[in-house]
Amino acid sequence: MPPELVTQFTKETGVEVIYSTFESNEEMYAKLKLTENTGSGYDVVFPSSYYVNKMIKENMLQPLDHSKLENLKQIPKHLLNKEFDSENKFSLPYVYGLTGIEVNSDEIDPKTITSWADLWKPEFKHKVLMTSDAREVFHIALLLNGKSPNTTNEEEIKAAYERLVTLLPNVITFNSDSPEVPYVQGEVALGMIWNGSAYLAHKENPSLQFIYPKEGAIFWMDNYAIPKTAKNVEGAHKFIDFLLRPENAKVVIERMGFSMPNEGVKALLSPELVNDPTLFPPSEEVEKGIMQGDVGDAVDIYEKYWNKLKTN
């Protein structure tokens, strides 16, 4: 999140914001669990779609008061009422996008990269970046194995793990903190990346190109939510409404490179940004992409094989 927005919010409201980051939903969930009984928890969290559903089931979130969100009208209706929170009782979309493939065209011909399977090519030894997100990484292997990326079948998850083990000689890093940085610094030449991070990387180095794989990219949505244990619920609603303003959505898009679901923001952006297929993914790519769903207790299976993979 752009720090200038946090500063501006405090200046407007007098509410001080203590901002904490996380590399994955699993880390966010663990942090929230640790603070549930200490009274030092969070007032606003930003879980991905499949974790919203999990947190609702575990009674970790409180209902949002839509009457306190004047700018709720800015969210396009087609991005509301998704299966993971069908009436948006507990969450609202913050940013959304697709995870695809980044290629350094100075080292690799982008025309030769069309599929997730290309990451396995032996000539890319020690050149590949994968995100540090269990579900995203397993999503790719499951898709290539012809299985649902939301499977709860342990045999299918194990088979995906075994496929991923064969990728490890090519993987130089797992990074979900600032995944664009290793590409910009020339440490990696190929791999996974979020479309927003790809936009930022291309600004730094035009040789870096973003590719939507033919099997479909990973469709994701990060969401606003208020934990059950939040102390400043009023301030939490003010913060969400503040970020929903078109002028603040513009700052997020320009600084972070992620699409914000906001009706008013496109009128504030340059035509170049509005028409950028990396920043605003084409509808056909969004439709082809598969959103990660809640897998219930099977999340522990994913975590088991994820930990094995990272220590292999």
Give Cα 201 to chain centroid, integer Å.
16
The pLDDT of residue 44? 97
pLDDT tier at 258, thresholds 50, 70, 90: confident
The pLDDT of residue 289? 92
pLDDT tier at 124, thresholds 50, 70, 90: very high
Query: Which tokens sit at 170?
Result: 């090519």
Query: Which tokens sit at 40?
Result: 């030092």
| Architecture of the CATH domain 97-217+291-310 | 3-Layer(aba) Sandwich (3.40)
CA dihedral angle for residue 240, residue 246, residue 252, residue 254, rounded to 10 degrees:
180
Report whether pLDDT(211) > 90: yes
Contact 290, 223 (CB under 8 A): no
In the chain, what are the domain boundaries?
Answer: 3-96+219-281, 97-217+291-310
- Give the number of residues written for the chain: 312
pTM for the complete prediction? 0.83
Report whether pLDDT(132) > 70: yes
Pick the CATH number of 3-96+219-281 from 3.40.50.150, 3.20.190.10, 3.40.50.300, 3.40.190.10: 3.40.190.10
Task: Identify the weakest region by mean pLDDT among 62-71, 160-169, 248-257.
Answer: 248-257
The pLDDT of residue 257? 85
Q: Could you give the CA distance from residue 278 to residue 198 in angstroms, rounded to a whole number? A: 7
The pLDDT of residue 40? 62
53 against 236, higher pLDDT: 236
Contact 55, 61 (CB under 8 A): yes
Report whether pLDDT(101) > 90: yes
Helices within 166-216 (DSSP H only): 180-184, 195-204
Query: Which tokens sit at 144?
Result: 């290539």
pLDDT tier at 39, thresholds 50, 70, 90: low
Which residues on neighbouring strands pair with residue 220, listed in sequence order?
97
Asked if domains 3-96+219-281 and 97-217+291-310 share a fold, the reply is: yes
Mean pLDDT, range 119-136, rounded to an integer: 96
Report whether pLDDT(203) > 70: yes
Helix, strand and coil in the chain, % to nearest 5: 45, 15, 40
Helices within the chain (DSSP H only): 3-13, 25-35, 49-57, 134-144, 154-165, 180-184, 195-204, 233-243, 246-256, 271-274, 283-288, 299-310
Report whether pLDDT(37) > 80: no
CA dihedral angle for residue 119, residue 121, residue 125, residue 127, rounded to 10 degrees:
-30
The pLDDT of residue 312? 86
Task: Identify the weakest region by mean pLDDT among 128-137, 162-171, 257-266, 299-308.
Answer: 257-266
